[in-house]
A and B are shown apart, each in its own frame.
Chain A
């Protein structure tokens, strides 16, 4: 009996302890997680959670001093390059380790290892895209550059110095909740991090959608509705700028410019479309337009906003460099910032750098494909997937042609991206193994003048960016820059023929012939992801860039601006004026007004009184945005269905639609082809869509009311946690803006960093902030402390220190790092 009691009580105790010490499905090990000695309680940070004032680390070569300011921004003062990047790695890991590693797991298609089955299809897609493979090649190729190799290794050593001393209790809380451990960092992982950026900014394609439109409506219609240059553009390089180079010959346009679509297999895949709100703004005004007589530069890159924040602020100082700005967790150096003499910023170039080729295989083994009149061998790679919760790993075979990887062999409902073509190869600039992008930032961080800027740009490959620049020698410049394929006109607008050598990418635009302008007569430079240059530029870059409304607004305001100050540029970053409404609302209202019953409608009245600003409290913005979305859907979804599973297409641009409304009011596209015996007119669709908008808004929000219908309530900006952990993000942030607005804050996207720098002969003055905080720890007071200020459109003054001994009442702590 005694024995039975013992056994029962022992089993109960041991069983409970064991059960609480191991994860169960998605539930983490609860004993460990709740223990105050190890679990989540340990992640609670106090207000001043800084490293010890005297920190000894294996790996530094000399003494390093780090000064933390009141926003917890580290200012690193090192005696050499190695130590500055080592310390950068260490500090970023301390604040952002989980985030850094998460990006690399996503880019290399390994998320299922930590989160299980639900990430598997996304992983398969990432592996097929071949980002991990490309990252390896980029590093192998790049390390022949000694500086590149040293910087990446010093950074990795710093990250690893932090990881090595980590115990479970100090792990970022996400590791505890999801239940895994950080791996060692390496230069390859930094490149993966950059691959992630290439994917976010260059990973979209409209090719198959355009091919579907072409095969249904023919070339005449496609040329008319999907033109290669919009009617309302205000290009980055001002019209009239001379091209100071002799162009290299452009490949001739082949007789057949697209693949002949096989009728048996429909082209259905879902490579993401270009997302216009993943755009950005930057500009610089020259001395003649500024109050100080020297340039002021502004930049706000728009991305899908997440917590932990996309950016991390740092000052990095060595005897040969003193730079401040926004850094990407996982990568050394400053990406957007300034030093004593210059400032620079970036926005995305929307050129077409991802193309698809239809591949004809010899047979189902996919070992050979037809190219240039002969059978050519594919290469084969086996991808292995470890999936959390599955006893055995899964395998997937990826075939590659000389164009690039076949993204999907066979259509399957489980394909993450439903739009990948059967037997289609992807040619993508992100696969280029020249990847010394970080060297461009290395040299920009040290740049003293315009020539240094131009030299730095030659190292940059992808994703192509509009590099804006200003110096205290009173130079301003902007250069859409990166490795850009030398294409024949419209090459890659549609799916191409993988067997035709004339359809290959045949070279690159010489880097010194990328569009650029220095000190233009108008006294400012700017970009908002619109077309890089007008059609006088001798090379074809692509047919679809971001809509031009933001650019138009920025340029008209800068044009008028005199005696500009930091504050006038800050206000421009927060401009909520709706250029599209100015253009089209009067036209649409006139159509509505033709029916006198409409103008009694309170929604109509509100729109009529609207100031055309997407301010937070405007109801007019709510109605207008909803209405034009509805209108575009009503006009085009019957003919160009976006979500059609068999043959998805894309709508003609909004600019093209407004041209049609104004100049071709009888166009056949206004008719809804799915209503059989009825011929809809422009008037009909305008009224129908207006009514539908009001009905759906009323259904969702109740009767019209300035509180519930306010634009910020309807738009409701959310900043979610990167790993989608509920409760770790911030929802319903009150602010104005919108997709075509300079203040490009939408439901999920927005300015991920806002910066304004006033150059000076002595010492620059700079302001900036991002929607989040320096710490990646959800329990830190510095996790999201800048969000409220960001939502209001305010900026923080940035503390740019001259030396480690500089006195400031904003310094909250110092750390001395020395050799162990």
Chain B
């Protein structure tokens, strides 16, 4: 349930607000409804990973994958080990890690916040 709520709320919110709005949203939902620390983390991380990967997949297919190739080329000139990795999966993974960790850690913090008052 938390997974769905975070996914929908942050999809709408990110349309209007900066990307880091996922942190307070995950925090709030984590504080409001979570049963366990890990449950809070997993729901938020999973929701944002799903949302970001899903939306980026849509944008990427509209663009025939040009942008991710260019950004991939740019990064791998500066960070050599990226040269040996396939661009598309690598960049989707990096993105998913960034989004999911911010959301997951925030939701965990929200859960522990709630515990202060129990």
Q: Which residues of A contact B (CB under 8 A)?
A: 2-3, 5-6, 9-10, 12-14, 16-17, 20-21, 26, 30-32, 34-46, 168, 173, 177, 725-728, 778-781
Top-4 shortest CB links A-B:
A727-B73, A44-B63, A726-B77, A779-B67
Closest to A29 in B: B19
Q: Are B67 and A43 in contact (CB under 8 A)?
A: yes
12 CB < 8 A contacts A-B? A2-B116, A3-B116, A9-B111, A13-B109, A14-B109, A35-B52, A35-B95, A38-B18, A44-B59, A173-B67, A727-B72, A727-B73
Partner of B99, one of A21, A34, A173, A778: A34
Q: Are B78 and A726 in contact (CB under 8 A)?
A: yes
Q: Are A13 and B108 in contact (CB under 8 A)?
A: yes
Report how far A34 CA is from B67 CA in the complex, Å.
Answer: 12
Q: Are B102 and A20 in contact (CB under 8 A)?
A: yes
> In the complex, how many angstroms separate the beta carbon of B13 from the nearest chain A beta carbon?
9
Report how far A286 CA is from B67 CA in the complex, Å.
Answer: 47
Q: Are A34 and B94 in contact (CB under 8 A)?
A: yes
In chain B, positions 55-100 with a C-beta closer than 8 Å to chain A are 55-56, 59-60, 62-64, 66-68, 70-74, 76-78, 91, 94-95, 98-99
Partner of A13, one of B27, B94, B115: B27
> In the complex, how many angstroms separate the beta carbon of A428 from the nearest chain B beta carbon?
37
Q: Are B14 and A37 in contact (CB under 8 A)?
A: yes
Partner of B59, one of A21, A26, A41, A726: A41
Q: Are A13 and B98 in contact (CB under 8 A)?
A: no
Report how far A263 CA is from B14 CA in the complex, Å.
Answer: 68
Interface presence of B105 (CB below 8 A) = yes
Q: Are A32 and B18 in contact (CB under 8 A)?
A: yes
Partner of A35, one of B19, B66, B77, B109: B19
Report how far A305 CA is from B115 CA in the complex, Å.
Answer: 62
Q: Are A725 and B109 in contact (CB under 8 A)?
A: no
Interface presence of B2 (CB below 8 A) = no
Interface presence of B34 (CB below 8 A) = no
> In the complex, how many angstroms separate the beta carbon of B22 from the nearest chain A beta carbon?
8
Q: Are B108 and A9 in contact (CB under 8 A)?
A: yes
Q: Are A35 and B14 in contact (CB under 8 A)?
A: yes
Q: Are B112 and A37 in contact (CB under 8 A)?
A: no
Q: Are B115 and A2 in contact (CB under 8 A)?
A: yes
Partner of A38, one of B19, B66, B101, B105: B19
Report how far A177 CA is from B109 CA in the complex, Å.
Answer: 30
Partner of B74, one of A10, A13, A20, A177: A177
Interface of B is mostly: helix
Q: Which residues of B contact A (CB under 8 A)?
A: 14-15, 18-20, 23, 27, 37, 52, 55-56, 59-60, 62-64, 66-68, 70-74, 76-78, 91, 94-95, 98-99, 101-102, 105-106, 108-109, 111-113, 115-116
For residue A46, which residues in chain B have a CB less than 8 angstroms away from its CB? Answer: 62-63
Q: Are B94 and A726 in contact (CB under 8 A)?
A: no
Partner of B19, one of A9, A10, A32, A728: A32
Report how far A40 CA is from B59 CA in the complex, Å.
Answer: 10
Known: A20-B102, A35-B19, A38-B19. 15 other contacts (CB 8 A): A2-B112, A3-B116, A13-B105, A20-B20, A34-B95, A40-B68, A44-B67, A177-B71, A725-B74, A726-B74, A727-B70, A727-B71, A727-B73, A728-B73, A779-B67
> In the complex, how many angstroms separate the beta carbon of B96 from the nearest chain A beta carbon?
9
Q: Are B109 and A31 in contact (CB under 8 A)?
A: no
Report how far A5 CA is from B59 CA in the complex, Å.
Answer: 39
For residue B115, which residues in chain A have a CB less than 8 angstroms away from its CB? Answer: 2, 5-6
Report how far A729 CA is from B54 CA in the complex, Å.
Answer: 29
Partner of A6, one of B67, B68, B101, B116: B116
For residue A9, which residues in chain B have a CB less than 8 angstroms away from its CB? Answer: 37, 105, 108-109, 111-112
Report how far A6 CA is from B91 CA in the complex, Å.
Answer: 32
Residue with the highest number of chain A CB atoms closer than 10 Å, among B70, B73, B113:
B70
Closest to A40 in B: B71
Residue with the highest number of chain B CB atoms closer than 10 Å, among A2, A35, A37:
A37
Q: Are A31 and B19 in contact (CB under 8 A)?
A: yes
Partner of B23, one of A13, A37, A725, A727: A13
Closest to B54 in A: A36
Closest to A727 in B: B73
For residue B102, which residues in chain A have a CB less than 8 angstroms away from its CB? Answer: 13, 16-17, 20, 31
> In the complex, how many angstroms separate the beta carbon of B40 from the nearest chain A beta carbon?
10
Q: Are A10 and B113 in contact (CB under 8 A)?
A: yes
Report how far A21 CA is from B95 CA in the complex, Å.
Answer: 14
Closest to A34 in B: B95
Q: Are B60 and A44 in contact (CB under 8 A)?
A: yes
Residue with the highest number of chain B CB atoms closer than 10 Å, among A21, A31, A38, A725:
A31
Partner of A44, one of B27, B66, B101: B66
Residue with the highest number of chain B CB atoms closer than 10 Å, among A3, A35, A38, A781:
A35
> In the complex, how many angstroms separate the beta carbon of A182 from the nearest chain B beta carbon?
18
Report how far A72 CA is from B60 CA in the complex, Å.
Answer: 21
Report how far A6 CA is from B55 CA in the complex, Å.
Answer: 32
Report how far A38 CA is from B15 CA in the complex, Å.
Answer: 9
Report how far A661 CA is from B68 CA in the complex, Å.
Answer: 56
For residue B99, which residues in chain A have a CB less than 8 angstroms away from its CB? Answer: 34-35
Report how far A168 CA is from B15 CA in the complex, Å.
Answer: 12
> In the complex, how many angstroms separate the beta carbon of A26 from the nearest chain B beta carbon?
8
Q: Are A6 and B112 in contact (CB under 8 A)?
A: yes
For residue B71, which residues in chain A have a CB less than 8 angstroms away from its CB? Answer: 40, 173, 177, 727
Partner of B105, one of A16, A36, A40: A16
For residue A38, which residues in chain B have a CB less than 8 angstroms away from its CB? Answer: 14, 18-19
Report how far A30 CA is from B66 CA in the complex, Å.
Answer: 19
> In the complex, how many angstroms separate the beta carbon of A562 from the nearest chain B beta carbon?
47
> In the complex, how many angstroms separate the beta carbon of A782 from the nearest chain B beta carbon?
11
Known: A6-B116, A16-B102, A36-B56. A727 touches B108 (CB 8 A): no
Known: A20-B98, A779-B66. A39 touches B19 (CB 8 A): yes
Q: Are A37 and B109 in contact (CB under 8 A)?
A: no
Known: A5-B112, A177-B74. A781 touches B64 (CB 8 A): yes
Closest to B13 in A: A37
For residue B37, which residues in chain A have a CB less than 8 angstroms away from its CB? Answer: 9
For residue B78, which residues in chain A have a CB less than 8 angstroms away from its CB? Answer: 26, 726
Report how far A12 CA is from B109 CA in the complex, Å.
Answer: 8
Partner of B55, one of A3, A14, A37, A726: A37
For residue B95, which residues in chain A have a CB less than 8 angstroms away from its CB? Answer: 34-36
Closest to A33 in B: B71
For residue B15, which residues in chain A have a CB less than 8 angstroms away from its CB? Answer: 37
For residue A728, which residues in chain B have a CB less than 8 angstroms away from its CB? Answer: 70, 73-74
Report how far A38 CA is from B20 CA in the complex, Å.
Answer: 11
Report how far A44 CA is from B52 CA in the complex, Å.
Answer: 15
Report how far A16 CA is from B105 CA in the complex, Å.
Answer: 9
For residue B112, which residues in chain A have a CB less than 8 angstroms away from its CB? Answer: 2, 5-6, 9-10
Partner of B98, one of A14, A30, A727: A30
For residue B52, which residues in chain A have a CB less than 8 angstroms away from its CB? Answer: 34-36
Report how far A5 CA is from B110 CA in the complex, Å.
Answer: 11
> In the complex, how many angstroms separate the beta carbon of A728 from the nearest chain B beta carbon?
6
Closest to A11 in B: B109
For residue A3, which residues in chain B have a CB less than 8 angstroms away from its CB? Answer: 116
For residue A726, which residues in chain B have a CB less than 8 angstroms away from its CB? Answer: 73-74, 77-78
Report how far A649 CA is from B62 CA in the complex, Å.
Answer: 56
Report how far A31 CA is from B103 CA in the complex, Å.
Answer: 12
> In the complex, how many angstroms separate the beta carbon of A33 from the nearest chain B beta carbon?
8
> In the complex, how many angstroms separate the beta carbon of A183 from the nearest chain B beta carbon?
21
For residue A20, which residues in chain B have a CB less than 8 angstroms away from its CB? Answer: 20, 98, 102
Q: Are B20 and A10 in contact (CB under 8 A)?
A: no
Q: Are A36 and B55 in contact (CB under 8 A)?
A: yes
Residue with the highest number of chain A CB atoms closer than 10 Å, among B20, B71, B72:
B71
Q: Are B109 and A17 in contact (CB under 8 A)?
A: no
Closest to A39 in B: B19
> In the complex, how many angstroms separate the beta carbon of B101 from the nearest chain A beta carbon?
6
For residue A780, which residues in chain B have a CB less than 8 angstroms away from its CB? Answer: 66
Closest to B102 in A: A17
Known: A6-B115, A17-B20, A40-B71. A779 touches B63 (CB 8 A): yes
For residue A168, which residues in chain B have a CB less than 8 angstroms away from its CB? Answer: 18
